[in-house]
Structure 1
Amino acid sequence: MTTPLANLETTSRVRKRAQYEALEFELQNGDVRVRNGSYADPENHEYTVCIEDDLPTACTCPADAKYSEACKHRVAVALRRPILDAVRHHQLLADGGETVQPSNQVRDHKENSEEQPEIDESDCDCADFSSDFPCWECYRTGRRDLPE
């Protein structure tokens, strides 16, 4: 099974930025609004990522229009399986399809801050990054730390 990230052409610099920048995500009618909280004025750094067949295919940011590779917003969405799952669930409902039960493999870490969520190895995208940089799931769950 290939990961959504494996289906995007991008650079390692963009992959890293998609992981370490303070990005916030909001589901909006089958698309994802990505807001970059790393800026002093994050309201001026909000873009919409379009999702088709579980793949971020377009973004309204200037970089996605200018370059042939995927922008950091599309990569950030591709890295976060729970976001893609939520989009798929919403799109199924909007299309009149049946709902899909969410996976219990990744639990919200806010539910029980003392207990680490269980991660299926298939959710790990570390192989797609340089050896010193963890994927979001490994970082979020504490399996790997960011390099110094």
Structure 2
Amino acid sequence: MDQLLPADFEPTSRVLKRAQYEAFAFSVLDGDIRVRNESHENPANHEYRVSVVDGIPATCECPADAAYEGPCKHRVAIAIRSRILELVTKVQVVADGGTTANDRCEPAESDQCDCDKLDDEFPCWNCVRTGRKTLPEK
């Protein structure tokens, strides 16, 4: 597993095993994740939207998530894959108008950023966006 499960996230061992070995495909949808189970003969009939809240897969549209106690295999499949959670969290931050650490231009003490890799006339996008530099008028 990529990461440890949250403390209150207690799947059954059967659900955890299935979340690990079934062939899931993931797509980011407006801050949520579509989980498609490619293990089935007709995967299109086995895809569900999972909502992520504060970095935790909170709800799933699948029947099992509503019918049983504990998280379904789709939520667990996301929870054990930290890169999927990181990606959806970044999408949520951007969709909310925020920024992530990678979006900010915070040059080192030498005051260097991506501008030094560009033509002298054009600053990097982070410097323009943060107001450190402006685009040329030409």
Cα distance in 2, alignment partners of residues 9 and 94 from structure 1:
30
Cα distance in 2, alignment partners of residues 18 and 62 from structure 1:
16
CA-CA distance at 1:7 after TM superposition: 3.2
CA-CA distance at 1:43 after TM superposition: 0.3
Structural mapping, 1:29-68, within 5 Å: 29-68=30-69
Cα distance in 2, alignment partners of residues 6 and 79 from structure 1:
13
Q: CA RMSD in A?
A: 1.7
Structure 1 or 2, whichever has the larger Rg, is 2
What's the counterpart of residue 88 of structure 1? 89
What's the counterpart of residue 27 of structure 1? 28
Cα distance in 2, alignment partners of residues 100 and 85 from structure 1:
13
**Displacement over 2 Å in runs of 4+:** 2-7
Amino acid at match of 1:11: T
TM-score by length of 2: 0.69
Q: Which runs of 5+ in 2 are unaligned?
A: 103-138
Contact 1:18 1:72 survives alignment (8 Å): yes
Query: Secondary structure in 2 aligned to 1:50?
Result: strand
What's the counterpart of residue 99 of structure 1? 100
Contact 1:25 1:35 survives alignment (8 Å): yes
Confirm whether residue 14 of structure 1 aligns to residue 21 of structure 2.
Answer: no
Cα distance in 1, alignment partners of residues 61 and 6 from structure 2:
19
Cα distance in 1, alignment partners of residues 78 and 39 from structure 2:
16
Cα distance in 2, alignment partners of residues 100 and 88 from structure 1:
12
CA-CA distance at 1:5 after TM superposition: 4.2
Amino acid at match of 2:69: S
Q: Deviation per CA, 1:88-139, whole angstroms, max 9, x where unpaired? A: 10011011111243xxxxxxxxxxxxxxxxxxxxxxxxxxxxxxxxxxxxxx
Cα distance in 2, alignment partners of residues 49 and 69 from structure 1:
14
TM-score by length of 1: 0.64
CA-CA distance at 1:10 after TM superposition: 1.2
CA-CA distance at 1:3 after TM superposition: 3.6
Q: Which runs of 5+ in 1 are unaligned?
A: 102-148
What's the counterpart of residue 106 of structure 2? none
Cα distance in 1, alignment partners of residues 98 and 5 from structure 2:
22
Cα distance change of structure 1 residues 59 and 72 upon mapping to structure 2, 3 Å threshold: same
Counting aligned pairs with the same residue, the percent is: 53
